[in-house]
Amino acid sequence: MSQSDHSTAPLTIVGTGMAGVGLARAIRGRDGERPITLISADSGDEYTKPLLSSAFAKRQTAQSLVMRDAVGLAATLRARVRTHTTVDAIDTARRRLRIGAELLPYGQLVLATGAAPWQPFEVASSLRHRVFQINDLDGYRRLRGVLDRHPGRQARIAIIGAGLVGCEFANDLHAGGHRVALIAPEATPLPRLLPPPLGRALGEAFAEAGIRGYFERQVSALHDDGEGVTLVLDDGEALAADLVLVATGLRPRTALAEVAGLAVSPAGILTDRRLATSAPNVFALGDVACVDGLDAPVGGLSAMYVQPLQAAVKALAATLAGIPTEVSYGAWPVVVKTPLLPVVALPPREPPHRWRIEGEASDFSALAEDESGRLLGFALTGRCVRRKVELARAAPPLLG
């Protein structure tokens, strides 16, 4: 392919989640004519991912969460949207993608492939209709479809994992009228966001509402008992459930980039602050990107963390428009959707010298400080969440 062919090839974005669609929209805001191709492994429906973990309480169907289908998205963005399409390989030297037997040229390429749920154990085929993971609209649609077959019935749902996703879905499914059990190897919920006293406060709020907590426990086996699932814990206790939701974390989808020779790490595709990868004309954005070494959970830029993603989209759109721009992240706290006990946290980038904890009952402020008393991050629960603006102004930026 000649250089002139490359100059007319489209900007190609692999992934139609919040990162990919947000970037296409930002590019279109700058340039109404540039050819843009979006490639989606699924239906290409546009929706807001953070809303998935509050949709059960609101009785929202998967379809009600869709803002635009792929046809509407293509029309709005004046772009080509290819759905149910898997990219098999990237040829960075010839600047083209291989999709089956097709070779698709690109001018510039953005990988916004997100992260995939990690499942720490095998699930027997007989249980696959009872074991779920929700990382996208299709996952929500699948679980919602099962629950909607028995309207008004209080399902027994076991959630494995007490991180951000597990806790938000525990609160949401409980609010949706279901009986929830939360199982995790850690001693308290949200161990990556909250120091233990605050985690205990959240666990107690869950317990008071009727969410059963099984902490410092792991699932050793799942059995089909004919009417549901029996979860056997590592101490031998058996729990009965109708459905199981696995929320044990995400892993960036780096396989495609790695095979193409791009630099990757367990935290994602390595990029500089312009979101450029180790290959010319190839960029990474969103959950799959590890920006300037900023590690998960912040560097992973989960869709739960909307503000860093928006900052990255804005910077990359400028760079792709010919104005090289480095991304900066402010001190943006994470607002956890657990109405049973409001939680806000800004996890420190480095382990703090100490946590200074103040408060009582379920209302706590925890300040992460270095040896000199400088604020590195914070965690807030209950009525103390009102301090989030004050403390965010005092905290250092995530990536200044």
What integer best gives the mean pLDDT of the chain?
A: 92
Q: Using the 3D structure, point to which of 225, 246, 267 is the last residue of a domain.
A: 246
Tokens of 346: 């800004």
Given a cut of 70, whether residue 301 has pLDDT beyond it is no
Does residue 109 share a domain with residue 12? yes
Q: Using the 3D structure, point to which of 215, 246, 277 is the last residue of a domain.
A: 246
Q: Which of 388, 276, 295 is nearest to 335 (CA)?
A: 388
Q: Is residue 156 part of a domain?
A: yes
Q: Say which residue the tokens 């699948």 belong to.
A: 142
What pLDDT band is residue 350 in, cutting at 50, 70 and 90? confident
Does residue 153 share a domain with residue 59? no
> Which range among 35-39, 146-150, 306-310 has the greatest average pLDDT?
35-39
Does residue 179 share a domain with residue 146? yes
Select the more confidently predicted residue: 51 or 150: 51
- Is the peptide bond prior to 105 cis by the omega test (within 30 degrees of 0)? no
Read off the pLDDT of residues 332-345 as tens digits, 9 standing for 90 and up.
899 999 999 999 99
Given a cut of 80, whether residue 298 has pLDDT beyond it is no
What is the arithmetic mean of pLDDT over 258-271?
Answer: 96
Q: Is residue 330 part of a domain?
A: no
What pLDDT band is residue 300 in, cutting at 50, 70 and 90? very low
CATH number of the domain that residue 354 is part of: 3.30.390.120
Split into its structural domains, the chain has a count of 3
pTM: 0.91
Q: Using the 3D structure, point to which of 287, 320, 353 is the last residue of a domain.
A: 320
Given a cut of 90, whether residue 302 has pLDDT beyond it is no
Does residue 181 share a domain with residue 68? no
Report which secondary-structure segment, H or E, holds 251.
Answer: strand 250-252
Q: Domain of residue 376: give its range.
A: 342-394
Q: Is residue 28 part of a domain?
A: yes
Does residue 230 share a domain with residue 123? yes
Does residue 239 share a domain with residue 132? yes
Q: Is residue 22 part of a domain?
A: yes
Read off the pLDDT of residues 19-30 as tens digits, 9 standing for 90 and up.
999 999 999 999
All residues at 6 or more sequence positions from 377 whose CB lies less than 8 Å from its CB, including other chains? 345, 346, 347, 348, 349, 352, 368, 395
Read off the pLDDT of residues 359-398 as tens digits, 9 standing for 90 and up.
999 999 999 999 999 999 999 999 999 999 999 999 998 8
What Cα–Cα distance (Å) separates residue 130 from each residue in 30, 152, 211, 229, 243? 46, 18, 20, 7, 5
Q: How confident is the model at residue 303, as a pLDDT?
A: 36
Q: Is residue 333 part of a domain?
A: no
Q: Which of 225, 286, 268 is nearest to 15 (CA)?
A: 286
Does residue 165 share a domain with residue 181? yes
All residues at 6 or more sequence positions from 365 whose CB lies less than 8 Å from its CB, including other chains? 357, 358, 359, 378, 379, 380, 384, 387, 391
CATH number of the domain that residue 141 is part of: 3.50.50.60
Q: How confident is the model at residue 7, as a pLDDT?
A: 54
Does residue 126 share a domain with residue 234? yes
What is the arithmetic mean of pLDDT over 20-41?
Answer: 96
What is the arithmetic mean of pLDDT over 87-104?
Answer: 97
Q: In angstroms, rounded to a whole number, what is the distance separating the alpha carbons of residues 41 and 272?
A: 26
Does residue 106 share a domain with residue 138? no
Q: Is residue 335 part of a domain?
A: no
Q: In angstroms, rounded to a whole number, what is the distance separating the alpha carbons of residues 193 and 392?
A: 15
Read off the pLDDT of residues 183-220 as tens digits, 9 standing for 90 and up.
999 999 999 999 999 999 999 999 999 999 999 999 99
Does residue 112 share a domain with residue 130? no
Q: In angstroms, rounded to a whole number, what is the distance separating the alpha carbons of residues 146 and 198?
A: 34
Does residue 172 share a domain with residue 97? no
Q: Is residue 400 part of a domain?
A: no
Q: Is residue 332 part of a domain?
A: no
Does residue 14 share a domain with residue 104? yes
